[in-house]
Structure 1
Amino acid sequence: MSKPSASPQAQAESYALYGLSYADDHVADTFDIRIVADMLDISYSHFYHTFSAVMNEPYWHYVKRHRIELAAGMLRHSGYSIAEIGELSGYMTLAAFSKAFKQHFKYSPKDFRKIQILPNEKRTLHITETITASFGNNMLANLFHYDRTERISISESTLYYTLLSHGDDPITEMVLKMNNHENRFRKIIEIFDIPQALVITGTLDAVPVTNYEKLSIFAGILLPNHQLAAHKQLRDNYPYLLQKRIQGGSFLKLRLPLSFAAAGIPMYEFIDRSCREGIFKMRDNQFFISLTGPNSCEIFIPLLKQRVI
Structure 2
Amino acid sequence: MFKSSILTKEQLENFALQGLCFADDHVSDPFHIKDVAERLGISYSYFYHNFNDYMGEPFWHYVKRHRLELAAGLLRHSGYNISEISELCGYATTAAFSKAFKQHFKESPKDFRRILVLPNEKRTLQITESITVAAGSDIFGNFFNYERCEKITLPDSILYYSFISRGQNPIGEMIAKMNHYYTMFRKMLTLFDLPQSRIITGTLDSVPVTDYEKLSMFAGISIPVTATAAHQQLRDNFSYLMKKRVPGGSYLKLPVPMDFATAGIPMYNFISRNCKEGIFKMSGNHFFISLAGPNYCEIFIPLLKKHY
Class of the TM-score when normalised by the shorter of the 2 chains:
over 0.9
Q: What's the CA shift for 1:154?
A: 0.4
- Residue type matched to 1:124 in 2? T
Q: Deviations over 1:224-276 (max 9, x none)?
A: 01100000010111010000000010100000001000000000000000000
Q: What's the CA shift for 1:165?
A: 1.1
TM-score, normalized by length of structure 1? 0.97
8 Å CA contact 2:79–2:304 kept in 1: the answer is yes
Counterpart of 2:267 in structure 1 is 267
8 Å CA contact 1:189–1:195 kept in 2: the answer is no
Counterpart of 1:179 in structure 2 is 179
- Residue type matched to 2:37 in 1? A
TM-score, normalized by length of structure 2? 0.97
Matches within 5 A, 1:198-217: 198-217=198-217
Counterpart of 1:91 in structure 2 is 91
CA distance in 1, matches of 2:263, 2:135: 9
Counterpart of 2:17 in structure 1 is 17
Counterpart of 2:245 in structure 1 is 245
Q: Which runs of 4 or more aligned residues in structure 1 lie more than 6 Å from their structure 2 counterparts after TM superposition?
A: 1-4
Q: Deviations over 1:110-141 (max 9, x none)?
A: 00000000010000000000000111111010
Counterpart of 1:170 in structure 2 is 170
Identity %: 62
CA distance in 1, matches of 2:77, 2:216: 20
Matches within 5 A, 1:122-133: 122-133=122-133
Q: What's the CA shift for 1:2?
A: 8.4
Query: Cα RMSD over matched residues?
Result: 1.6
Matched residue pairs, number? Answer: 307
8 Å CA contact 1:3–1:40 kept in 2: the answer is no
- Residue type matched to 2:286 in 1? Q
- Residue type matched to 1:224 in 2? P
Provide the secondary structure at the position in 2 that maps to 1:306: helix
Unaligned runs of 5+ in 1: none
Provide the secondary structure at the position in 1 that maps to 2:305: coil
8 Å CA contact 1:29–1:90 kept in 2: the answer is yes
CA distance in 2, matches of 1:209, 1:252: 22
8 Å CA contact 1:102–1:108 kept in 2: the answer is yes
Provide the secondary structure at the position in 1 that maps to 2:200: strand
CA distance in 1, matches of 2:72, 2:280: 18
Provide the secondary structure at the position in 1 that maps to 2:16: helix
Matches within 5 A, 1:52-67: 52-67=52-67
Counterpart of 1:147 in structure 2 is 147
- Residue type matched to 1:266 in 2? P
CA distance in 1, matches of 2:197, 2:190: 10
Unaligned runs of 5+ in 2: none
8 Å CA contact 1:170–1:217 kept in 2: the answer is yes
Provide the secondary structure at the position in 2 that maps to 1:208: coil
Provide the secondary structure at the position in 2 that maps to 1:142: helix
- Residue type matched to 1:161 in 2? Y
